Chains A and B, each alone.
Chain A
């Protein structure tokens, strides 16, 4: 299991800069200390921070400077003092996370510039959770325009990147609950939650989180936005992201380590530890999404407006297979997991992208996935997966006007040669002995989805 803990912390700087000025700010400071202890005991080697106080516009930004240093001053609470920092960033992970995000259709980039302004929330979190830089850290921004689908995909990209290196990671979300600040300066002793309504909603959220109901809170995000958030951005997103990266369910041991007003907002330190017990049914009322295909176009006349035009939520329709260079896609095959077509014709040849066993529409994997959502290995049927791969290839070739009989060359990828070669080889022989395609079989470390078998195929194109 690579995600070993999750914590929610506030980013307003009072617990860092003046914890003794208010009893509640001091409690939050103690909550940070307890969260730090929990993270240490979880065995985490890395912190991954999603900060609602780091807004981005051009997609998603991921910090990748190995050792950013600065003297930070908050733009609002500058009178509380300066915060010198020097952090240890896992730049390699940042690059991988960025690649995973891009492969899922997101705009993303790393930032590795001296003097890049790390946001107050991330600075507070790292200073209090990781003061000695014992753990490497990564920080990702919160895009102001992103809504649920984009945020969920960003969370899944983060999980994919974590699973790829297997480094035990604690997830940190920087946010307040209710976020209405006072609009006048107050004395520290006057701090309180801004309204009774905010207080009641904060209590509801903490009750859910204490019960480990992360996915339920995520599903409440739109309501939370309407009830207790000042609308600076399109939606309340951090719980969507946290749930997507930790696992979209309610199987967590939750504990509220501290809760107190922070200049009118609701500041809470919460820990969520993966647990095996079931806290309730998954009550998804919205689609689960793996790949971001752009915002839905609700403005018909923007379809051709270029760079920022909303992109259709459906994959492109199959194009004429006889046109040189034209992408070939079919709804009868599983959706690609990146920005590539199912196939493409060049001259007399058809080149197919890597094809796995996932089923179109459901993404179910015949023979079962190789691991569960926590990364635990599962038993699977390599023969069933190979059959499904060949069927998907047949469907794509037929959509291109070709057939399985036209296959010239196959490159097969197995994640476990020792375990799976015999079963794969038998199924392959059943379909390909008469065809006589050349073949290469490779053992590789991982595939993008939890599958064991993938083929890459070159075939004859139909006559023009």
Chain B
């Protein structure tokens, strides 16, 4: 039986959410914070519970490669991830399994479509915190193997349009590899929407009296993006993405969301919005797409 994508998730990766959740693997401890987003992830997890799946494929902006897309190629990783920007919030002891076979298959399909791909086979490699945060918030049990894909920063060299084309090719490769694998897979696009940060931090990071969108313009763009996706106007969103990415300084420049929406065949059905909230000024939405029907 052909494999399939059973869900796609816009799964932003602010380490603040893990910090506020206080899982045992994380060293820093918080009092609370960013609850609307964490409750959103809770509802997402509840919906995913009713779906049977074999693996998670995540594309993270924080594994940045300027030469092609890279894939984790070691079966098991165990180490400590310290966020380079928020080390005060995120020092996470992780242990995860990789579906190397599926990763190799996507990389091979990508090469056939003209993409530069490479397997990362160094066992000392440290998995990026974006991958870890998105996977942890989606599946804190860490009982599903993952395929982690790096973000090829083609937007920095060429344009968002070139990035979108590469994302489309990577999506086709992903779909083909999943179909051939016979596996049921959840895709994670690990990115925020608007992405202009504050450059200062409150003394108590979880002080919610200090949290808000960095700028109203970002909020307007975020709402437009969410509105289009909730109405199933996915192609229109993709068409507008270059301007959205530029105007909202959006983390969609990483290609993760474009990749996932292409892999989902540009849904004409509504996305489920689980939560929207700001984290240190950036706009974050937790959203889900379920090709098999609403959960």
Contacts and interface: CB of A to CB of B under 8 A. Distances in A.
Contacts of A107: 199-201
Interface stretch (A108-116, A247-255, A404-412, A422-430): A108-116
A306 interface: yes
Most chain A CB neighbours (cut-off 10 Å) among B122, B128, B212:
B122
Most chain A CB neighbours (cut-off 10 Å) among B85, B86, B280:
B85
B156 A230 contact: yes
Interface string A68-85: 000111011011011000
B86 A58 contact: yes
A334 B166 CA distance: 56
Interface stretch (A297-305, A366-374, A394-402): A297-305
A117 B86 contact: no
A54 to B, nearest CB: 7
Interface stretch (B32-40, B60-68, B182-190): B60-68
Interface in A243-281: 263
A305 B212 contact: yes
B75 to A, nearest CB: 16
Given A73-B122, A231-B156, A184 B84 contact: no
Given A58-B86, A59-B199, A180 B65 contact: no
B125 A57 contact: no
A285 to B, nearest CB: 26
Contact of B124 (A54, A82, A145, A230): A82
Interface stretch (B97-105, B113-121, B132-140): B113-121
Contacts of B124: 71-73, 82
Interface string A97-108: 000000000010
Most chain B CB neighbours (cut-off 10 Å) among A56, A117, A182, A230:
A117
Given A78-B120, A183-B154, A306-B210, A54 B84 contact: yes
A116 B82 contact: yes
Given A107-B199, A185-B118, A307-B202, A113 B82 contact: yes
A232 B156 CA distance: 6
B87 A76 contact: no
B210 A116 contact: no
Contacts of A183: 66-68, 116, 154, 157
Interface residues of B, number: 43
B233 interface: no
B80 interface: yes
B281 interface: yes
Given A181-B67, A183-B67, A184-B116, A307 B82 contact: no
A143 interface: yes
Contacts of B70: 76, 78
Nearest to B28: A113
A5 to B, nearest CB: 28
Nearest to A76: B65
A292 B67 CA distance: 37
A234 to B, nearest CB: 11
Contacts of A58: 85-86, 197-201, 280
B67 A302 contact: no
Contacts of B116: 183-185
Given A145-B199, A183-B157, A307-B202, A117 B65 contact: no
B215 interface: yes
Main secondary structure of the interface of A (DSSP, over half): loop
A281 B212 CA distance: 48
Nearest to B200: A107
B66 A308 contact: no
A73 B60 CA distance: 18
Interface in B48-77: 63-68, 70
Contact of B66 (A79, A119, A145, A181): A181
A232 B253 CA distance: 11
Contacts of A55: 84-85
B35 to A, nearest CB: 19
Contacts of B224: none
A109 B88 CA distance: 10
Contacts of B118: 79, 185
B50 to A, nearest CB: 36
B87 A116 contact: yes
B126 interface: yes
B157 A73 contact: no
A79 B124 CA distance: 11
A78 B150 CA distance: 13
Contacts of B122: 73, 78-79, 81-82
Contact of A116 (B68, B84, B197): B84
Contacts of B281: 307-308
B155 to A, nearest CB: 10
Interface string B208-238: 0010101110000000000000000000000
28 contacts: A54-B84, A55-B85, A56-B84, A57-B199, A58-B198, A59-B199, A78-B125, A79-B120, A79-B122, A107-B201, A113-B87, A114-B91, A115-B91, A117-B126, A145-B197, A180-B157, A181-B66, A183-B157, A184-B68, A185-B67, A185-B68, A185-B116, A230-B157, A232-B156, A302-B215, A307-B202, A307-B281, A308-B197
Interface of B: 63-68, 70, 80-82, 84-88, 91, 116, 118, 120-122, 124-126, 128, 150, 153-154, 156-157, 197-202, 210, 212, 214-216, 280-281
Counting from the closest, the 7 A-B pairs by CB-CB distance are A308-B198, A82-B124, A115-B80, A78-B122, A73-B125, A71-B124, A115-B82
Given A59-B200, A76-B64, A307-B198, 13 more contacts: A58-B280, A73-B126, A75-B125, A76-B65, A78-B121, A78-B122, A109-B88, A114-B91, A117-B84, A183-B66, A183-B68, A185-B116, A299-B215
Interface of A: 54-59, 71-73, 75-76, 78-79, 81-82, 107, 109, 111, 113-117, 119, 143, 145, 180-185, 230-232, 263, 299, 301-302, 305-308
